[in-house]
Structure 1
Amino acid sequence: MPEPTGITAEISRSRWEDTETLAQLFHDGLQNMGHFEPVGEQQLPSSYATLLAHEDHMTVTLEAYFETLVTLTVVRQTIEHDFYARQSLLARQSDGAVVQYGIVRLVTAGLPWEVRDAIQTHRGPLGRVLIRNNLLRHVELRALWRIEPTDELRVPLALEPDDVIYGRLAVIHLDGRRAVEVLEIVTDHPRPIPEVYPVP
């Protein structure tokens, strides 16, 4: 039984601005992605509590939950001198069904060259890259969200109009420094990615 995270709706609400800032890397804001409602761990349906209410890499959690490896598709990315950001999808290797939409912003300064290169050339999900390279890391859960998605999330996640999904804001500390911010939105009833979605 995992330890309680201590995340409440009030804590999630207090991290709205951080979540909004991350969303604005690739969207016009959270409102364009859907209606985001701050929730606590106790308000999550059991499947989403398993998927989101923990301080582990989502790669590890998704692969354990769905009993298959996940594959990465990068939709868009930006590379600056010391920062890297991307918008991505994770899908089940077994059938191609999309299980996560994510936005990540990473401070690349101080990362070993091979880690930075593996991330920027999309050689696997972020969690897998960090684990394979044995970086000292700690995942900090920051907020939980109930989401009524707009088409900006419905299309990449192959959702139906009435689907409600959940997500989280987390920070990954590498070697004791805050290095990664992630917005991770998951579905517990994944469907194959639509062929019309513009994936490069």
Structure 2
Amino acid sequence: MSPLLPFSQPIDHDGVARAMALVKLFCESVESFGQFCAVESANVPQPWRQLLDHESHMTVAMEKFYKTTVGLQVVAELKPPAMSAADCDWYAREIFLLHPDGAVIQYGIVRIDLSQVNTATAQAILRAHLPLGRILLEAGLWLQVQHVQLMELLPSVYWQALFSATHTHLQTQARTFGRVASIRVAGKQAVDLLEIVAPPLKGDQLIVGREFPQP
């Protein structure tokens, strides 16, 4: 796994490079994760476009779309070596967002500089009980979601392994769409995000296994 690096470098406006950098935190071979391709909004079909093409938190977008709260499942975490949770500034995790019925509706990787939030917020993030977007919003922080770039993903074998234990109903090799984004907290770069809508169900083109609600 790649080490966590400081946010000292400017934002790379190559969306594919940004996505690959985050993937490498948890997947040694980007090729085994899948093939990314940058896409324009007009080339993203619905409902993926509605879910992804905005400068808001994906937690908010998913909860608005499904008209329910979403849950968090942490797949893996990454902290700097020899640092405890109490003094860890750099933190990354690989996650699923879950519908209340247990279905995966989103895969994500988040990398955050915890020094940019207060202690209570950092502790809430590290407890990993709630989605990041909900924690940041409830903390009342001044947030800016920026540098959104849309991606098409053709998943590979990593996804098969990731979903094989509990989510075998998904077409883990079917194309899906996602985005990379960043979040500024109080004007300072604090969060890098890769957010991918769950792939379709086996046997159809639904992304989570139920009819899409009307906007």
Q: Normalising by structure 1, report the TM-score.
A: 0.83
2:134 aligned residue: 128
> Identical aligned pairs, as a percentage?
33
Q: Which moved more, 1:163-172 or 1:16-25?
A: 16-25
CA distance in 2, matches of 1:65, 1:29: 33
Normalized per residue, the structure richer in strand is: 1
Instruction: Within 5 Å, give how 1:32-181 maps onto structure 2.
Output: 32-80=32-80, 81-93=88-100, 95-154=101-160, 155-156=162-163, 158=168, 159-160=170-171, 163-181=174-192
Residue type of the alignment partner of 1:143: Q
Q: In the TM superposition, what whole-angstrom CA distance separates every residue of 1:92-125 from its partner, at most 9, and x where no partner exists?
A: 01x1110011001001113210000000011300
1:7 aligned residue: none
Task: Assess if the C-alpha contact under 8 Å between 2:125 and 2:135 holds in 1.
Answer: yes
Gapped regions of structure 2 (runs ≥ 5)? 1-11, 81-87, 199-205, 211-215
Task: Assess if the C-alpha contact under 8 Å between 2:197 and 2:207 holds in 1.
Answer: no
- 1:40, distance to aligned residue in structure 2 (A): 0.8
Q: CA RMSD in A?
A: 2.0
Gapped regions of structure 1 (runs ≥ 5)? 1-11, 193-200
Q: Normalising by structure 2, report the TM-score.
A: 0.78
Aligned length: 180
CA distance in 1, matches of 2:40, 2:138: 32
Q: Structure 1 residue runs of 4+, over 6 Å off?
A: none
Counterpart check, 1:190 vs 2:208: yes
- 1:163, distance to aligned residue in structure 2 (A): 2.0
